[in-house]
């Protein structure tokens, strides 16, 4: 089955499951929409008549703008999968309410307007959510290959939904069709839970973090200003706006003629369902048989003409004969071309627009321009039909005039598109890794051919990246020549691109590339041969036995990659046997240490890629290899296997100076599976402190709520160094995943404890700020050292307090407030205090704001009663308290000060510290006894 999907749709084996889930999801969403739309139209028209339709258009525009704005705000606060689930549940609940009211024949005037508006918003939000979800499920390269197949699920859903309405509406009744929509959405909730698995969650978190960083790095821009400065964007926005206006006028004509001829509600519902399905069929046929050919033959400009010209033919038909057949012609032209050729053409128009400009203007064009044009078309219909009493047929004159404007805008945007593309390639402003649209435009392909035939290496690589998933036979001869290019980067990139081309034109050239000097090119060449050679098992056996150690290494590595990705190859090849053959051939060769290390590094990659458990004992050996490079590769590849067998060894390397970063990254790849092991290490009192210090960094790389909870549980354990690392890890998690939840009560309790420490130290510091008379020079120096250490400890507490605040409140705001407070500038501090006064919860304000005031002398005026407040009356109380603080440096400075005082009354306090295991404190106690003895 996987082989069939790979052959027919270019879907790889590991992508089949999630691709089918996404196909099913969008199928059901669009099917429910195509059931709801005919129901809506039929109910509205039979109740009000077509003359109220313009008012519905205007209300849709108004409510769309408001609801989308509210939805956008919610999307920043709610986890995306929960947002989708909530949308589906609200939709199901709404459908059931509509069904119930219809069953009791509720027919208040507002009710049918609500249904009309709801269906419009449902279509916009749910489809938008789906394509956002698709961007989290698939990366950009997968998207280029798979979005076409997944998009056909939408068209198939439209066909099925409309025909079901045609068949079932006369039998079940119009209102009961809403129950079928609700059933489809219930299934969508099940599918969502299957889709939202670990990989999707991780992709969502990573893209969320990238989006946050992008927003921070970009200056806020006014979308209107940006569009007004770019003629390309201006023409694009105008094309979208005029297209929406024409579509609404066409929709009005179609509905008016249909409702005038078909009076029965259920028959009208069936009619709308039938023809909406026919539109989907037309769209599918055009997409399958025309869209690609049109782009390859004529380019983007010609593709944009089809929709307005098709509508023009329909408008003329209605003008001449306003009958049902002419209404069907104009609707088929509109629906058939809009979702196929025109949609793809508009996507191509946005390709050369720089990413920042696209991000800042896309939502404006998609939402605001669309809503504005919908509202204008409603207003225009009110003026033309209600006030001027223009007939349905004469509306075609207005449509024809708008189409003339539309065609003019297409002519203008064509030249801007070409100029933008040339500029984008020169400046490399298109990000190939984020580009999900295939570039099949004939004009652009011709331009690419010119670049590919030049010797500009930088532009060549860039264009090859853009063309990676665009199979175009016109480029085959050029790609064939590029396999001989002097740049190994271009040869490698070309090899990657031709993997999807017909092999006959390249196979001989690729065989010769086995002698290429670059190892990566050998691997990619062998991959090409394995994918296109029917006797691949014989080929790989021969290459493994090759006398060149690099060729046999490349063959082994290529075999492991193919073994992972190709189920048919796995049936033909036993990777374990192949590995032993590779080892045997390597042992009989005379290799120097560098060559042996090269072989061993290849072995680690083979095991990491294939994840063949029979080979894991070899990986354990290589994790202890004498070569640093081999060990480092083994660490990386052990992480790639995510097998628990390697966790103990990887954990050991967390304290290794050379390997700790790689070990940390490798353990982080295990994700949530590693959390129990890490938590167990932190709970073990015998754990080496260096390992304790390393664990929080591992946890900070696993962006999950469970990881954050483990860190929270250890935030008050261990020494200050460990607690500081736990807090830093929590702050990193918070920055990397804004959706993590931290209970305010827990944070308050921890902050309360930190604040108590601060006030106690403040009392101590005030005692030490006095009475330096009658002290020797050595005693003064010791006292100043102790005073500085107290101040530093207080500063550490203040920093920890702000880090804790950053877990609950916006981290950027809290960080800026902390910088202002510690800037020593009165104005900045005052502004920060005022900001925190408005931001913080009332209980937090009472304990934090006093810390930031300039005058801290009146400790007795503390704003709250503290359970562990120490009454510091004199220096003896101060020293007694300092010896209880969990800070080695502060204790050592206190002991040293006591030692230079040479007062025997402190002997008991110091002797009680003998049980302390901290080496610094022990060393200082030894100095104390030595000085007291002299």
Reported in sequence order, the residue ranges of 95-243 that DSSP labels E, i.e. its strands, are: none
Q: To which residue do tokens 């002519």 refer?
A: 411
Band of residue 6 on the pLDDT scale cut at 50, 70, 90: low
Band of residue 625 on the pLDDT scale cut at 50, 70, 90: very high
Neighbours of 823 (CB within 10 A): 12
- Give CA separation, 575 vs 519, 537, 555, 582, 588, in Å: 21, 11, 12, 10, 20
Is the predicted pLDDT of residue 717 greater than 60, yes or no?
A: yes
Provide DSSP, 733-790: HHHH-TT----HHHHHHHHHHHHHHHHHHHHHHHHHTS--TT--HHHHHHHHHHHHHH
Is the predicted pLDDT of residue 103 greater than 70, yes or no?
A: yes
User: Are 780 and 887 spatial neighbours (Cβ–Cβ below 8 Å)?
Assistant: no
What whole-number distance in Å separates Cα of residue 447 and Cα of residue 442?
A: 9
Least confident of 139-148, 541-550, 703-712, 840-849: 139-148
Mean pLDDT, to the nearest integer, of 482-497?
Answer: 92
Computed over every residue of the chain, the mean pLDDT equals 84
Ranges 116-130, 243-257, 775-789, 893-907, most confident: 243-257
Mean pLDDT, to the nearest integer, of 127-136?
Answer: 83
User: Are 2 and 140 spatial neighbours (Cβ–Cβ below 8 Å)?
Assistant: no
Is the predicted pLDDT of residue 856 greater than 60, yes or no?
A: no
What whole-number distance in Å separates Cα of residue 696 and Cα of residue 702?
A: 10
pLDDT of 436 reads 63
Mean pLDDT, to the nearest integer, of 824-853?
Answer: 83
Band of residue 473 on the pLDDT scale cut at 50, 70, 90: confident
Q: Which has the higher per-residue pLDDT, 735 or 806?
A: 806
Provide DSSP, 474-509: GGHHHHHHHTT-S-HHHHHHHHHHGGGS-GGGTHHH
With 0-12 / 13-18 / 19 or more C-beta atoms within 10 angstroms meaning exposed / middle / buried, residue 686 is exposed
pLDDT single digits (tens) 288-327:
777 777 877 777 777 889 999 999 999 999 999 988 888 8
Q: Which has the higher per-residue pLDDT, 522 or 704?
A: 522
Mean pLDDT, to the nearest integer, of 917-933?
Answer: 80
User: Are 566 and 537 spatial neighbours (Cβ–Cβ below 8 Å)?
Assistant: no
Q: Which has the higher per-residue pLDDT, 674 or 888?
A: 674
- Residue 554, classed as helix, strand or coil, is helix
Mean pLDDT, to the nearest integer, of 4-26?
Answer: 76
Band of residue 859 on the pLDDT scale cut at 50, 70, 90: very low
Mean pLDDT, to the nearest integer, of 402-422?
Answer: 89
pLDDT of 554 reads 94
pLDDT single digits (tens) 146-155:
777 887 888 8
User: Are 726 and 748 spatial neighbours (Cβ–Cβ below 8 Å)?
Assistant: no
pLDDT of 860 reads 45
Band of residue 864 on the pLDDT scale cut at 50, 70, 90: very low
pLDDT single digits (tens) 648-687:
999 999 999 999 999 999 999 998 899 999 999 999 988 8
Q: To which residue do tokens 């005022």 refer?
A: 834
Band of residue 917 on the pLDDT scale cut at 50, 70, 90: low
Is the predicted pLDDT of residue 8 greater than 60, yes or no?
A: no
User: CB under 8 Å to 665, separation ≥6 — which residues?
Assistant: 636, 639, 701
Band of residue 865 on the pLDDT scale cut at 50, 70, 90: very low
- Give CA separation, 819 vs 235, 791, 794, 822, 882, in Å: 46, 17, 16, 5, 28
Band of residue 609 on the pLDDT scale cut at 50, 70, 90: very high
User: Are 575 and 560 spatial neighbours (Cβ–Cβ below 8 Å)?
Assistant: yes
Is the predicted pLDDT of residue 633 greater than 50, yes or no?
A: yes
pLDDT of 309 reads 94
Mean pLDDT, to the nearest integer, of 841-865?
Answer: 66
Percent of the chain at pLDDT exceeding 90: 31
With 0-12 / 13-18 / 19 or more C-beta atoms within 10 angstroms meaning exposed / middle / buried, residue 711 is buried
- Residue 77, classed as helix, strand or coil, is coil
pLDDT single digits (tens) 388-407:
889 999 999 999 999 999 99
Is the predicted pLDDT of residue 335 greater than 70, yes or no?
A: yes
User: Are 572 and 537 spatial neighbours (Cβ–Cβ below 8 Å)?
Assistant: yes
| Helical axes 777-808 vs 720-736, angle rounded to 10° | 30
- Residue 854, classed as helix, strand or coil, is coil
Band of residue 594 on the pLDDT scale cut at 50, 70, 90: very high
Q: Which has the higher per-residue pLDDT, 649 or 870?
A: 649
Is the predicted pLDDT of residue 876 greater than 70, yes or no?
A: yes
With 0-12 / 13-18 / 19 or more C-beta atoms within 10 angstroms meaning exposed / middle / buried, residue 644 is exposed
pLDDT single digits (tens) 46-97:
888 888 989 999 988 888 877 877 777 777 677 788 889 999 999 999 999 9
Phi, psi of 230 (to 5 degrees): -115, 115
pLDDT of 427 reads 77
């Amino acid at each position: 089955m996987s082989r069939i999907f790979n052959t027919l749709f270019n879907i790889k084996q590991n992508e089949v499951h999630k691709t089918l889930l996404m196909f099913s999801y969008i199928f059901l969403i669009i099917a429910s929409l195509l059931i709801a739309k005919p129901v809506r139209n039929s109910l509205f028209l039979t109740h009000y008549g077509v003359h109220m339709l313009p008012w519905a258009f205007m209300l849709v525009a108004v409510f769309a703008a408001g609801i989308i704005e509210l939805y956008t705000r919610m999307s920043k606060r709610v986890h995306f999968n929960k947002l989708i689930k909530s949308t589906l549940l609200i939709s199901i609940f709404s459908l059931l309410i509509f069904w119930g009211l219809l069953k009791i024949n509720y027919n208040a005037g507002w009710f049918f307007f609500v249904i009309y508006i709801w269906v419009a918003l449902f279509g916009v939000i749910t489809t938008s959510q789906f394509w956002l979800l698709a961007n989290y499920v698939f990366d950009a390269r997968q998207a280029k290959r798979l979005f076409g197949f997944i998009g056909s699920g939408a068209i198939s859903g439209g066909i099925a939904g409309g025909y079901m309405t045609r068949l079932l509406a006369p039998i079940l009744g119009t209102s009961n069709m809403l129950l079928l929509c609700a059933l489809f959405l219930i299934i969508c909730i099940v599918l969502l839970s299957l889709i939202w698995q670990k990989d999707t969650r991780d992709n969502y978190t990573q893209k969320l973090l990238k989006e946050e960083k992008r927003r921070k790095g970009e200056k806020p821009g006014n979308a209107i200003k940006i569009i007004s400065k770019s003629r390309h964007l201006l023409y694009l926005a105008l094309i979208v706006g005029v297209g929406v206006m024409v579509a609404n006028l066409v929709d009005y004509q179609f509905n008016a003629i249909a409702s005038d001829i078909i009076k029965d509600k259920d028959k009208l519902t069936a009619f709308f369902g039938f023809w909406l399905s026919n539109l989907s069929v037309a769209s599918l046929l055009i997409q399958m048989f025309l869209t690609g050919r049109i782009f390859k033959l004529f380019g983007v400009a010609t593709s944009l003409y089809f929709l307005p010209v098709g509508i023009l033919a329909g408008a003329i038909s209605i003008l001449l004969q306003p009958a049902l057949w002419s209404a069907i012609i104009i609707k088929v032209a509109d629906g058939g071309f809009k979702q196929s050729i025109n949609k793809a053409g508009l996507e191509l128009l946005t390709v050369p627009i720089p990413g920042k400009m696209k991000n800042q203007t896309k939502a404006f064009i998609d939402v605001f321009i669309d809503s504005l044009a919908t509202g204008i078309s409603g207003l225009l219909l009110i003026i033309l039909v209600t006030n001027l009493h223009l007939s349905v047929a004469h509306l075609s004159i207005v449509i024809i005039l708008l189409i003339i404007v539309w065609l003019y805008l297409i002519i203008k945007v064509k030249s801007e598109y070409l100029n933008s593309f040339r500029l984008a390639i020169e400046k490399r402003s298109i990000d190939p890794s984020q580009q999900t649209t295939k570039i099949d435009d004939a004009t652009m392909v011709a331009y690419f051919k010119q670049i590919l035939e030049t010797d500009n290496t930088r532009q060549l690589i860039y264009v090859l990246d853009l063309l990676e998933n665009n199979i175009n036979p016109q480029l085959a001869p050029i790609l064939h020549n590029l396999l001989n290019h002097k740049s190994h980067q271009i040869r490698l990139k070309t090899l990657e691109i031709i993997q999807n081309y017909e092999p006959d034109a390249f196979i001989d050239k690729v065989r010769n590339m086995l002698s290429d000097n670059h190892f990566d090119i050998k691997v990619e060449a062998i991959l090409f041969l394995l994918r296109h050679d029917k006797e691949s098992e014989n080929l790989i056996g021969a290459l493994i036995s090759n006398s060149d150690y690099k060729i046999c290494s490349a063959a082994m590595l290529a075999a492991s990659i193919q073994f992972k990705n190709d189920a048919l190859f796995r049936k033909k090849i036993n990777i374990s046997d192949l590995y032993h053959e590779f080892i045997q051939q390597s042992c009989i060769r005379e290799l120097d240490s560098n060559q042996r290390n090269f072989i061993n590094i290849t072995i680690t990659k083979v095991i990491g890629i294939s994840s063949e458990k029979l080979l894991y004992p070899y990986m354990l050996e290589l994790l202890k290899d004498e070569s640093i490079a081999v060990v480092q590769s083994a660490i990386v590849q052990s992480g790639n296997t995510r097998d628990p067998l390697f966790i103990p060894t990887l954990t050991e390397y967390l304290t290794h100076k050379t390997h700790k970063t790689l070990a940390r990254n490798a353990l982080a790849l295990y994700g949530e599976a590693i959390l129990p092991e890490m938590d167990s290490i932190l709970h073990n009192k015998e754990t080496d402190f260096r390992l304790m210090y390393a664990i929080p960094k591992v946890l900070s790389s696993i962006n999950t709520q469970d990881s954050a909870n483990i860190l929270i549980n250890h935030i008050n354990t261990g020494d200050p160094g460990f607690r500081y690392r736990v807090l830093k890890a929590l702050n990193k998690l918070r920055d990397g995943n804004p959706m993590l939840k931290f209970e305010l009560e827990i944070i308050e309790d921890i902050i309360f404890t930190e604040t108590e420490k601060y006030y106690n130290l403040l009392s101590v510091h005030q005692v030490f700020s006095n009475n330096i008379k009658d002290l020797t020079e050595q005693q003064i120096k010791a006292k100043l050292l102790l005073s500085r250490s107290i101040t530093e400890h207080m500063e550490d507490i203040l920093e920890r307090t702000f880090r804790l605040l950053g877990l609950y409140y916006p981290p950027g705001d809290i960080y800026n407030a902390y910088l202002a407070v510690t800037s020593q500038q009165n104005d900045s501090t005052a502004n920060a205090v005022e900001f925190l006064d408005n931001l913080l919860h009332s209980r937090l304000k009472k304990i934090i704001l006093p810390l930031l005031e300039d005058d801290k002398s009146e400790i007795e005026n503390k704003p709250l009663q503290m359970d562990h407040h120490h009454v510091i009356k004199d220096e003896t109380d101060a020293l007694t308290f300092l010896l209880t603080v969990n800070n080695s440096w502060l204790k050592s400075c206190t002991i040293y000060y006591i030692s230079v005082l040479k007062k025997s009354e402190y002997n008991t306090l110091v002797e009680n510290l003998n049980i302390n295991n901290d080496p610094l404190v022990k060393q200082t106690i030894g100095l104390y006894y030595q000085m007291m003895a002299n």
